[in-house]
Amino acid sequence: MIDLPARVIVRFRYLIILFWAAIAALAIPRASRVGDVLRVEGQAVQTESEEVYRIVREAFSQPIAQFFAITVRGPVPIDHPTYAALLDSLAAEVRRERYISRVISYRTARDRDLVSTDRRTTFIVAALTADASASAVLHTAAIRDAVLGVMARNRWASEYEMHVTGAPALEYDVRTVSLEDARRGERQSIPLAGAVLVLAFGALVAALLPLVIGVFAIVCALALVYLAAEL
């Protein structure tokens, strides 16, 4: 029953190897970027309702759609000149990003809800534009780099504790941790599986073949997930 397929594979083995090598060359770049197109929240599907929501969001102003929250904890009260200078620097730096529509801080709003009771902790709200809201998570690294840049230019800012949070930042962190866990699991499981296969087959080459096929299958599956997410 399997004689005919086996003979065909052996006869055209070089063409088959070239075919799968080409598939691997196309799959690997897409599989490596699958984390960029997946979302923790189910909001990336371009359904008709999502399109209507986008139109309404652009036509009518809303308070805030997607935003980053930059929390700041200082050694002095918020009314101190250095604290005020730091908040102004952070707001100005974040406001330069083209995907930020508005920045709200205690310095501009004077809202007591933005300050803790001991007046040493506050947060800045950086709202994203309507166009950037759908891809908000992709801007997390840039916002954090902007905050680190302010700290680097002002040495005294090291006394302040700052974090970038909000729904996009939390989603970015979940993606990062999940990806690191998956890679760590693969690094630990592949050598163990290889040792078991060597014992089972009694030969290194024979043991490597199932591993290669398994890794290749995973890469192709992730590439298909990437294409599905893109569509």
Please give the chain's pLDDT, 231 residues, in tens: 667 778 888 888 899 889 988 998 889 888 888 777 766 554 545 556 566 556 655 655 555 668 899 999 999 999 999 999 999 999 999 999 988 988 989 998 888 888 999 999 999 999 888 777 777 888 899 999 999 999 988 888 889 999 999 888 988 888 888 878 878 887 888 888 888 888 888 888 888 888 888 888 888 998 998 888 877
CATH code reported for the domain at 63-165: 3.30.70.260
Strand ranges inside 88-146, DSSP E:
100-104, 121-128
Quote the distance between the C-alpha of residue 122 and its chain's center: 26
- Cβ count within 10 A of residue 102: 13
Domain spans, the chain: 23-39+179-230, 63-165
Burial class (CB in 10 A: 0-12, 13-18, 19+), 82: middle
Residue 132 near residue 99, CB atoms below 8 Å: yes
Q: Give the closest residue to 138 by CA, choosing from 36, 33, 66.
A: 36
- Cβ count within 10 A of residue 33: 14
- Model pTM score: 0.65
Residue 136 near residue 156, CB atoms below 8 Å: no
Residue 35 near residue 230, CB atoms below 8 Å: no
